[in-house]
Amino acid sequence: MIVVMMGVSGSGKTTLGTLLAKALRCEYLEGDLLHPAANREKMHKGIPLDDADREPWLEAVRAALLEAHRDGRDLVAGCSALKESYREYLMDGVPVQWVFLTGNPELIRARLEARTSHFMDPDLLDSQLATLEIPIDALQVDVADTPEQIVDRIYRALTASPEIRVSSSGAGNFAVAAGFVASFIRATVAERGRCLIAISGGETPGGLYERLADTGRYPIPWDAVHIFWCDERYVPPDDPRSNFRMARETLLDRVPCPDENIHPMPTTLQSPRAAADAYEDILRRFLTPDGGGLDLVLLGLGRDGHTASLFPDRPALRETHRWVVAVEAPVEPASRLTLTLPLLTRADCAAFLVSGGGKAEAVATALRGETEPVGAILRSAARVVWWLDSEAAGRIDR
């Protein structure tokens, strides 16, 4: 998602934008840094900018938004974008989510006067307020509360519905997903020192994993990444049907992720049930007692609506306590281990990667939110992202 925090100088774009970027696990772009030196000089002297002054600045901001959007990266930018015409220009080709920071002008003036590190002359506030054209399509936020409260409200509003990104091709879909995952991991590691991800198997995600293995294109601090599995077929780790083997061959053998950070589901213990218990023990070393702490779960969707190895109408969907269970799937290989809904729904971000027309009906049904297991994830996860190619998106109600 590309978010632009807009509003007059002093409305809190930088403070709130930086915090929001942390919450969304992405980079914050300070639009003011893209002003040419001549503009900064003018503002410093208290001379208002005109449209011509703002042109090269808006061009630079738009280029940054466009690049992030094309890469699939989330980005939060701060940019006053006072006029409708500026906003129209910035969102040409980029689906911008505007957040309009507004409030009592006296409060904003007091905050402006209190800050010492900015080139803007506080007297310019009046001219900015006169220039401001109130946006009608923005999330409007009053800036009177504490930054944490405001950002919490913004984050909830922005992530209340699933984010759906449709790419014109399967390859484009993998590239968008890879851009998001790489930037999400970088931001998470920068903030928390590590990133815990659970990945899936099946046919689809190999295209994503192969892209992520391109360490030049997708720089990732692999030594701080821990990889878990959403589900596994109960077959030996070198079996061609093993999800671990697939991830190893497409990604993990090609990137510098330390072996001790790779946590495959065991599949050679005395029973699948014992393996589920053993995996739950491993997860308990990393997660909070309520099952929180996975930063990202990467999921797929089966034509029958299953995700991980949670199949519609099966007893595992009703699991409320255990984090990992052994199941008998209605497809081969039948014996599997899977994370359960109590764990998947507590991840900070759940992302579904789906490609191909054969899944179009399943995607449309899942997104209506009325069927399980996906319905529970849509209802309960803090943030849900869908990456679809145009074929998989073909039946969505829009």
Structure tokens at 65: 């938004």
User: Can you say how many angstroms the Cα of residue 147 is from the centroid of all Cα atoms in its chain?
Assistant: 21
Smallest gap, in angstroms, from Cβ of residue 393 to ligand 6PG?
A: 16
Q: Are 108 and 97 in contact (CB under 8 A)?
A: no
Residue matched to tokens 């053998």: 253
Q: Minimum distance between the CB of residue 235 and ligand 6PG, rounded to whole angstroms?
A: 10
**Which residue(s) pair with 166 in the sheet?**
388
Q: Cβ of residue 247: shortest distance to ligand 6PG, in angstroms?
A: 10
Q: Is 204 in the site for ligand 6PG (CB under 6 A)?
A: yes
The size of the interface with ligand 6PG (CB under 6 A), counted in residues, is 16
Tell me how many degrees the CA angle 218-220-222 measures, rounded to the nearest 5: 140
Minimum distance of ligand 6PG from residue 295's CB (angstroms): 19
Q: Rule CB under 6 A: which of 132-161 touch ligand 6PG?
A: none
- By C-alpha distance, which of 225, 164, 167 is closest to 198? 225
Q: How far is the CB of 309 from ligand 6PG (least distance, A)?
A: 6
Provide CB contacts within 8 A for 248, sequence distance 6+: none
In sequence order, the β-bridge partners of residue 352 are 299, 386
Dist. CA 29–CA 90, nearest whole Å? 14
Q: How far is the CB of 294 from ligand 6PG (least distance, A)?
A: 15
Decide if residue 173 touches ligand 6PG (CB under 6 A).
no
**Closest distance between ligand 6PG and the C-beta of residue 327, in Å?**
11
Taking CB under 6 A as the rule, does residue 24 contact ligand 6PG? no
> 144: which residues sit within 8 A by CB, 6+ positions away?
103, 104, 107
* Binding of residue 247 to ligand 6PG (CB under 6 A): no
Residue 323: CB atoms within 10 Å: 21
Interface with ligand 6PG includes 201 (CB under 6 A)? yes
Which CB atom, from 264 or from 302, has the smaller least distance to ligand 6PG? 302
Measured from the CB atom, is 82 or 265 closer to ligand 6PG? 265
CA distance 146 to 319: 39
**Among residues 173 and 200, whose Cβ is nearest to ligand 6PG?**
200
Cα distances from 193 to residues 211, 224, 295, 322, 351, in angstroms, run 24, 7, 12, 28, 22
**In angstroms, what is the minimal distance from the CB of 204 to ligand 6PG?**
3
Cβ 392 to ligand 6PG, closest distance in Å? 10
Stretch that binds ligand 6PG, among 24-32, 67-75, 161-169, 299-307 (CB under 6 A): 299-307
Using rule CB under 6 A, residue 170 touches ligand 6PG: no
Under rule CB under 6 A, residue 162 binds ligand 6PG: no
Residues 212-241: x where in contact with ligand 6PG by CB under 6 A, - otherwise, as a string: ------------------xx-x--------
Window of 49-57, 61-69, 109-117, 303-311 that interacts with ligand 6PG by CB under 6 A: 303-311
Cβ closest to ligand 6PG, residue 162 vs residue 300: 300
Which strand ranges, in their side-by-side order, compose the sheet holding 163-167?
163-167, 384-389, 349-354, 296-299, 195-199, 225-229
Residue 308 binds ligand 6PG (CB under 6 A):
yes
For binding to ligand 6PG (CB under 6 A), which residues are involved? 200-204, 230-231, 233, 243, 300-302, 306-309
